[in-house]
């Protein structure tokens, strides 16, 4: 899927920032690097850098599930809980020596999500 077309023009696709990148920006800002300098260094708008600064407490407090690098507003705590339960199940199956297919994981994910909701 390519970038969206807006009245004949191609608009830039939204760039998501990883948790590590946000933490790096917060750390540099706390060390005294100015917002404008961070903006230039990371190729982001000053508004984006300021938003990261405003959210620094919640960003520092995030403990994402294994393998998750980007947290989106669309993810609820239900998603996090389901993901953690699924990872526990997968790990248990792997320790038992069971072979898992993508279909097995999909079915289990669906079962877990319906139980949680």
Name the band, by pLDDT with cuts 50, 70 and 90, for residue 59: confident
- Second CATH level (architecture) for the domain 14-72: Orthogonal Bundle (1.10)
Length of the chain: 117
pLDDT tens digits, residue range 93-114? 889 998 888 888 888 877 766 6
pLDDT at residue 110 in the model: 76
Q: State the pLDDT at residue 68.
A: 65
Cα 34 to Cα 59, 78, 97, distances in angstroms: 19, 37, 52
Span(s) in the chain for CATH 1.10.10: 14-72
pLDDT category of residue 25 using cuts at 50, 70 and 90: very high
């Amino acid at each position: 899927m390519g970038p969206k077309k807006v009245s004949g023009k191609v608009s830039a696709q939204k760039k998501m920032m990883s948790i590590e990148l946000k933490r790096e920006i917060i750390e540099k800002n706390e060390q005294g690097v100015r917002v404008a300098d961070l903006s230039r260094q990371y190729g982001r708008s000053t508004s984006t850098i300021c938003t990261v600064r405003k959210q620094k407490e919640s960003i520092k407090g995030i403990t994402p599930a294994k393998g998750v690098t980007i947290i989106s507003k669309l993810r609820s705590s239900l998603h996090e809980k389901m993901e953690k339960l699924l990872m526990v199940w997968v790990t248990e199956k792997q320790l038992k020596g069971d072979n898992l297919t993508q279909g097995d994981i999909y079915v289990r994910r669906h079962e877990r999500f319906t139980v949680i909701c």
